[in-house]
């Protein structure tokens, strides 16, 4: 393979740049949007700026190159995430099967967010991601054996059905009062089999809950209607609340939202003028990356959500 066909890593794209580079210079050299680089800066792991030239902070190029090498996702071999492309994986499962740290995989959610040219696959209602989509995303990352594949057109990513809206064969057995084998036989009936959804939840085949129960009721096959799965109550992570001060990136990851959502809620609360809804002050307002007491921020976050 000729050198012209070899992929160029993000770090290598900074070759020829000045020894001190600004956010805009990094974005232009690497080929990403300025807002993407600013998100990297806000992660808390970004190299410290050395000085300010005009209105922009500048950073040592070698440190930026090292950061890019450490955080750029690499290509995976086919099959690393399993043989079933429709399997729904948690963040921990993705980390275990790829060999990455769980914190590294979690960082991709913001580094390659919805505004990225090739965003990380979205999660379903319980935070799982389709294995095939994750495998394809990693395969488009930098590789030593070939050029990067083109990103898919927006809107092509498959989303898993929400668990509360579907029912599997175990739920059908419970609703009809039949054994599991009897329920499987029943669901081979043409009118019922035709209602099966193409997408799965994990490895389970599912049907639309409301429509299927209505059809079973019409066929007089419904013994009792099962209640939908309960919504999980928010988990209180006492270790997180008692831990060290957290950056906006860590807060966003903890609550499962974007950094932008965290900053907008802070700005909205401050502009409201309501003394009961004010966010906590950062531990040290003079530093570039602001950090907050997690327990104080959680009281603000939960109280602000309840006030909506």
Q: What pLDDT, in 10s, does the model give residues 78-137?
A: 446 777 888 888 988 888 877 677 877 887 887 777 777 778 888 888 888 888 888 888
Question: CA–CA separation, 30 vs 68, rounded Å?
Answer: 10
Question: CA–CA separation, 55 vs 58, rounded Å?
Answer: 10
8-44 tens-digit pLDDT: 567 777 777 888 889 888 888 877 778 888 888 887 7
CATH topology of domain 238-307: Arc Repressor Mutant, subunit A (1.10.10)
Architecture of the domain spanning 73-160: Orthogonal Bundle (1.10)
Question: CA–CA separation, 57 vs 77, rounded Å?
Answer: 39
User: Given pLDDT bands bounded at 50, 70 and 90, which one contains residue 5?
Assistant: very low
φ, ψ for residue 166, nearest 5 deg: -130, 170
The pLDDT of 173-184, averaged and rounded, is 84
Question: What sections of the chain are H helices per DSSP?
Answer: 23-30, 34-41, 61-71, 91-98, 102-111, 131-139, 169-176, 180-186, 190-193, 209-218, 238-241, 248-255, 259-272, 294-307
CATH class of 3-71: mainly alpha
Question: CA–CA separation, 242 vs 307, rounded Å?
Answer: 25
Question: CA–CA separation, 263 vs 294, rounded Å?
Answer: 15
φ, ψ for residue 96, nearest 5 deg: -65, -40
The pair of structure tokens assigned to 173 is: 């057995």
Give me the chain's average pLDDT, please: 76
Provide the residue ranges of all domains of the chain, joining segments of one domain with +. 3-71, 73-160, 163-218, 238-307
Question: CA–CA separation, 139 vs 148, rounded Å?
Answer: 8
Q: Matching CATH topology for 73-160 and 238-307?
A: no
């Amino acid at each position: 393979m000729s050198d012209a066909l070899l992929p160029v890593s993000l770090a290598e794209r900074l070759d020829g740049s000045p020894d001190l580079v600004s956010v805009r210079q990094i974005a232009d050299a690497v080929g990403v949007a300025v807002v993407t680089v600013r998100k990297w800066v806000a992660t808390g792991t970004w190299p410290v700026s050395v000085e300010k030239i005009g209105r922009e902070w500048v950073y040592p190029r070698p440190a930026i190159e090292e950061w890019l090498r450490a955080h750029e996702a690499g290509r995976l071999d086919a099959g690393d995430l399993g043989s079933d492309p429709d399997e729904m994986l948690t963040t921990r499962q993705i980390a275990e099967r790829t060999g990455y740290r769980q914190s590294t995989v979690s960082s991709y959610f913001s580094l390659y967010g919805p505004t990225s040219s090739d965003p990380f696959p979205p999660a379903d209602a319980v935070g799982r991601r389709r294995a095939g989509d994750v495998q394809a995303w990693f395969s488009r990352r930098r590789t030593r054996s070939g050029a990067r594949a083109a990103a898919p057109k927006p809107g092509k990513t498959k989303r898993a059905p929400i668990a509360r809206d579907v029912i599997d064969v175990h739920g059908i057995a419970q609703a009809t009062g039949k054994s599991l084998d009897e329920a499987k036989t029943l669901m081979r009936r043409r009118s019922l089999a035709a209602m099966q959804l193409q997408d799965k939840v994990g490895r389970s085949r599912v049907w639309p809950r409301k429509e299927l129960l209505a059809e079973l009721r019409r066929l007089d096959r419904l013994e009792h209607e099962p209640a939908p799965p309960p919504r999980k109550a928010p988990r209180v992570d006492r270790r997180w609340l008692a831990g060290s001060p957290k950056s906006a990136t860590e807060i966003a990851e903890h609550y499962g939202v974007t950094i932008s959502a965290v900053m907008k809620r802070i700005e909205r609360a401050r502009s409201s003028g309501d003394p009961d809804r004010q966010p906590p002050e950062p531990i040290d307002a003079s530093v570039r990356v602001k950090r907050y007491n997690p327990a104080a921020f959680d009281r603000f976050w939960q109280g602000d959500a309840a006030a909506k």
